[in-house]
Every structure is written in structure tokens, then in C-alpha cells.
Amino acid sequence: MPAASITLDEAVDLARTGDVWLFRGHTIADRMIQVATNSPVNHVGMSVVLDDLPPLMWHAELGRSLPDVWSGTRHRGVQLHELRDAVIVWATRYGQQAWLRQLDPAVTHEMEDAVLRTIARLDGTPFPSTSGLASRWLLGHAPALRHQAAGTSLETAYCAEVLAMTYQAMGLLASSRRPNWYDAGRFWSGDDLGLSAGFSLGGEIAVIAPASESGAPQPPAAHSRTSRPRGRRC
């Protein structure tokens, strides 16, 4: 059965706060973090849709192609972008395939307030180097290293870590795991994310950006947790 797909404009109209956006590329850079994570996707972000604002994308990336809505400047690292513009940049300039996973049910006003507090705290945090990206992920998985780094402040952050911290602030993810335990593939449907409070994420919907409307990208195959294809996470 063919995978569900929608246009970018349709996806932006559907977007609600907490929805997850997944991206997968095929360049050498997109596969640089293979040793650090098994993931079919290399980037993840979250929709932020609030009254009187256009739909936004909350994520972390190396580039500074778009102005950050929160600060009004262009910078690398943790950023808040207009959603449609961000997806177009990732789909056309970076050559990424995009998928949308919708959060159900809709978030509460208290959760929206938690999102805004998290944005105020994290926006502008630098993106780690490639070696730093791998080491942060390793710190999230090695118990001895986790204990050693327990008091370390957040000086850099990668995309999945930002989403995990935001979901934890919203009460959607338990705080028992450190945010750097997560990679982008944890937010793919082949993994059991284990959301709290009765919330769940729907399956991947392929999103067709304007420059690629001739055909929808195929979603990642349904691999098990131990056999996920590898890729760059941010």
C-alpha cells in the first residue's frame, strides 16, 4: 500500500504544537555520525503553532540560512524558524526528505507555556562539533560517563536533545532519561518512544516540498530497534 503523502502547504495547515518533523539526507555529511547512532533519519524538529504567529519550527542545526524568529538574528545552533521556510531549506538546499508525525491529542495551554519557557532558555545554544555530537550521545548511553558528567551545564545541543528537553518540559517524556540519550531515530515510528499522559505520535506522512512535487519520498522501512539503517541525526 503506498505511503500517505501531502504537500508542504497541507502539512503546514495541519501542523500543531508538538508535531514532529523528521528529515533524511543522502550526502556524506548526512552519514557522518554513523558510529554514534543507528537512525534512519538525521534531523528532527518540532512544530510550534501559537495564536497570532505563523507556524514555526523549533530545532537545532549547523546552518544559519534563516532568521531566528525568537532573537531576530541569523545564528547557528538552536533556532526557531518559520515552519514552511525551514522545510523548504531542508528539502531543497540540503536535499532532505521530510516526514510529519502528528501529536495526539492537542497540547494544553500549560504545555504551550512550557514550550515558550524552553525556547527562552535554549534559543541560541550552539550546535556541537561532530566529535562533540558523538560524545554527547555517548554520555547519554554510558552509565559511568553519565554519572561523571551529571553536573555539566548545557553549552551545546543537537536536534534530538532539544526536542527531548522540550518534550520533557511539556510532561510528554519522563525525566528518567537524560536528553542526550535520544537521537533523531527515537522519534521515528519504528521506535517505542513511550510518551506520557495518554499522548501518542501518528505514523510518518511524507511531505512533498514545492521543488519535488513530482513524487513523494518513501518512508523508512519498518526496521527493528537493533537493525535501524544508519544516518546523520542533525
Indicate the pTM of the whole model.
0.81
pLDDT of residue 71: 95
Q: Is residue 9 part of a domain?
A: yes
Q: Is residue 229 part of a domain?
A: no
Res 121 pLDDT > 80: yes
Res 228 pLDDT > 80: no
| Average pLDDT score over residue span 90-104 | 94
Q: Is residue 219 part of a domain?
A: no
Range of the domain at 137: 5-214
Query: Mean pLDDT over all residues of the chain?
Result: 81
Q: Is residue 25 part of a domain?
A: yes
Res 60 pLDDT > 90: yes
Q: Is residue 156 part of a domain?
A: yes
Q: Is residue 231 part of a domain?
A: no
Which of the two residues, 232 and 10, has the higher pLDDT score?
A: 10
Strand partners of residue 100: 21, 205
Sheet of 205-208, strand order: 5-7, 205-208, 97-101, 20-24, 43-48, 56-61, 77-82
pLDDT of residue 66: 97
Instruction: For cell 537512525, name the residue.
Output: 39
Q: Is residue 225 part of a domain?
A: no
Q: Is residue 96 part of a domain?
A: yes
pLDDT of residue 234: 67
177-227, pLDDT tens digit by residue? 999 899 888 999 987 899 998 999 999 999 999 864 444 445 555 444 444
The secondary structure of the chain, three-state, reads: CCCCEEEHHHHHHHCCCCCEEEEECCCCHHHCCCCCCCCCCCEEEEEECCCCCCCEEEEEECCCCCCCCCCCCCCCEEEEEEHHHHHHHHHHHCCCEEEEECEECCCCHHHHHHHHHHHHHHCCCCCCCHHHHHHHHHHHHCHHHHHHCCCCCCCCCCHHHHHHHHHHHHCCCCCCCCHHHCCHHHHCCCCCCCCCCCCEECCCEEEECHHHCCCCCCCCCCCCHHHCCCCCCC
152-186, pLDDT tens digit by residue? 344 457 899 999 999 999 999 999 999 989 988 89
Here the CATH number for the domain that contains residue 28 is: 3.90.1720.10
- In the chain, the number of structural domains is 1
